[in-house]
Structure 1
């Protein structure tokens, strides 16, 4: 029986992934995370990627390591945490993989390594991260590539770069957008013609599971569920699902939205408080973020079409009653 160590397995993607992997009776699954898994406490071992001894004590003689752990929010302080978790964690994982002869590592990176990229950026896109999250994820990729290069005929490295991931129970940027639409108080910033690539959590988890069967080598994939929506189309679709008018009633020019975000940044700097509005979030909201992927070349088929995934999420969050169930906070 193979043992799969899922680092960061208590989180949003990790919980979905572990649920899928548990269905395979040939696999022994262990979760290594700095917080307890509420869904699978019996599989949980406490460990922080920053501390090698904790990881060493937690990871069994695994066949594969999947690293989902990351420092990723826009407002992380101190900034050194990005390096400690994303890069330092990668080094610790690779060192332990060497010690216990792990031959397969799956690493979830991010499309943030491309920064504010041109539309339809694929896996060969220019690397120009605009924040420490993207920078440290890219540097972590290099750490894993070095590990694979030390034994290229036998080691398998899979790097998955998801776009923004959404789904039931997530409290990230997509949920915040959907909640604003559902409240009837949504304000469109900009013309709404910018397009957004998205990824449904169940599909991301399914692809990570699928990638465990890849042969030795370096395999790098953006992960996107198609088609891409314009912001206008997404808002109209969600309003229709909620039985609301599809009309977008309130719009702000980008310049005014950016000024409001900058004002919140100034107040946050003075008071030390955190706000859901910031200049970088306004800029990200109004930017195109459209990516292409080579995932189709692997033969993988996403289990949930994107339109159905949006409907499932809207129904779960804003129509059905799930208020007592676990939620996950992320960007």
Structure 2
């Protein structure tokens, strides 16, 4: 059996490879990581591992035709994690070029080698930014180039699946994904509390749907390896119900033994400060208009569909932070 991961050198990919090596790989199985950058290179977000024995790392650009020297089997599975995702941070065309062309090339690769199982990591960005609860039935209304590109990429994968009803496609829309090596929203939240520069932006009840990276990759395993699900499965991947920013801060402090008072700052005042400080260095500590606005708007994503499956979460919110803390030697979340 071959596990073929596109974009496996990043945060989620390193955790997925670790899980596959620990629980899935049998004698004769192979893991292939096809990525534009390799583990340990500049620009790669450090994960839980750098290089894994038994993993073949291949430099590849998903915007170009993809080939691989291997022997396909009927059990092979593709994990398509490749994306330009950080927003803001890239020119608009970069999201479309990588995310859309990447979906086309990955599905063409599956056609070429007769692979019948693909898991595609999409995003909650296709829903658009709004306070209303979003289920998998909610009509997507993306309002960013990233969100639009991800929605188009979903459709490209669905077209691939529709050519053969026996093909298996799982599309996941994760909330905020966190854990060791993330260096994103949750890491900044931890550092902001620890260094006493994080504030509740206008409210404490902003909902921030999220999922622990180890939980996310275990759901990948459940869908693509432990079971067979012909057809298309679309899942929001988040705790159910989703937590508020205050609940997340409380759980994070409890899990790490940190005690930090988090003040509530009026939203208008914070936006003004971000507009002034952002251009002169505030971005380094998260005082940036785009990030402040994201803090003030809920990511109110419903996880009931996932919760209704046979999959069972391995961690509560606080347990996930405690596990992350243990992974970091009980020093700090990195």
Tell me, yes or no, if the aligned pair for 1:192 and 1:286 is still in contact at 8 Å.
Answer: no
CA distance in 1, matches of 2:79, 2:8: 9
In structure 2, relative to structure 1, the CA distance for the partners of 1:252 and 1:59 (3 Å cut) is farther
Partner of 1:6: 5
CA distance in 1, matches of 2:180, 2:290: 25
Q: Does 1:184 align with 2:196?
A: yes
Tell me, yes or no, if the aligned pair for 2:79 and 2:120 is still in contact at 8 Å.
Answer: yes
CA distance in 2, matches of 1:124, 1:56: 36
Pick aligned residue for 2:212 from 192, 200, 204: 200
Where 1:43 maps in the other structure, the secondary structure is strand
Where 1:77 maps in the other structure, the secondary structure is coil
Tell me whether 157-166 or 233-242 shows the greater mean CA deviation: 233-242
CA distance in 1, matches of 2:280, 2:261: 33
In structure 2, relative to structure 1, the CA distance for the partners of 1:265 and 1:103 (3 Å cut) is same
Pick aligned residue for 2:84 from 58, 67, 71: 71
For residue 315 of structure 1, report the CA deviation from its aligned partner. 5.2
Partner of 1:40: 52
Q: What per-residue deviation string (whole Å, max 9, x for no partner) do you get for residues 228-276 of structure 1?
A: 332223323333445454643x3321112222333456669xxxx9884
For residue 109 of structure 1, report the CA deviation from its aligned partner. 0.3
Partner of 1:230: 244
Q: Does 1:261 align with 2:250?
A: no
For residue 313 of structure 1, report the CA deviation from its aligned partner. 2.7
Tell me, yes or no, if the aligned pair for 1:192 and 1:230 is still in contact at 8 Å.
Answer: yes
Where 1:157 maps in the other structure, the secondary structure is strand
CA distance in 2, matches of 1:109, 1:276: 25
Tell me, yes or no, if the aligned pair for 1:227 and 1:306 is still in contact at 8 Å.
Answer: no
Q: Does 1:291 align with 2:293?
A: no
Q: Does 1:304 align with 2:315?
A: yes
Tell me, yes or no, if the aligned pair for 1:33 and 1:45 is still in contact at 8 Å.
Answer: yes
Pick aligned residue for 1:29 from 14, 31, 39: 31
Q: What per-residue deviation string (whole Å, max 9, x for no partner) do you get for residues 204-230 of structure 1?
A: 000011111332101110000244332
In structure 2, relative to structure 1, the CA distance for the partners of 1:239 and 1:306 (3 Å cut) is closer
In structure 2, relative to structure 1, the CA distance for the partners of 1:162 and 1:170 (3 Å cut) is same
Tell me, yes or no, if the aligned pair for 2:286 and 2:292 is still in contact at 8 Å.
Answer: no
In structure 2, relative to structure 1, the CA distance for the partners of 1:145 and 1:321 (3 Å cut) is closer
For residue 44 of structure 1, report the CA deviation from its aligned partner. 1.0
Partner of 1:96: 109
CA distance in 2, matches of 1:35, 1:59: 21
Partner of 1:175: 187
In structure 2, relative to structure 1, the CA distance for the partners of 1:243 and 1:137 (3 Å cut) is same
Tell me, yes or no, if the aligned pair for 1:90 and 1:140 is still in contact at 8 Å.
Answer: yes
CA distance in 1, matches of 2:148, 2:156: 13
Q: Does 1:282 align with 2:284?
A: no
For residue 317 of structure 1, report the CA deviation from its aligned partner. 5.0
Tell me, yes or no, if the aligned pair for 2:34 and 2:57 is still in contact at 8 Å.
Answer: yes
Q: What per-residue deviation string (whole Å, max 9, x for no partner) do you get for residues 160-181 of structure 1?
A: 1100100122101111011111
Where 2:209 maps in the other structure, the secondary structure is strand
CA distance in 2, matches of 1:60, 1:227: 43
In structure 2, relative to structure 1, the CA distance for the partners of 1:121 and 1:143 (3 Å cut) is same
Partner of 2:47: none
In structure 2, relative to structure 1, the CA distance for the partners of 1:255 and 1:59 (3 Å cut) is farther
In structure 2, relative to structure 1, the CA distance for the partners of 1:240 and 1:295 (3 Å cut) is closer
In structure 2, relative to structure 1, the CA distance for the partners of 1:266 and 1:298 (3 Å cut) is same
Describe how 1:152-163 pairs up with structure 2 within 5 A. Answer: 152=165, 154-163=166-175
Tell me, yes or no, if the aligned pair for 1:160 and 1:222 is still in contact at 8 Å.
Answer: yes
State the TM-score, normalized to the length of structure 1.
Answer: 0.86
CA distance in 2, matches of 1:120, 1:148: 28
For residue 83 of structure 1, report the CA deviation from its aligned partner. 0.9
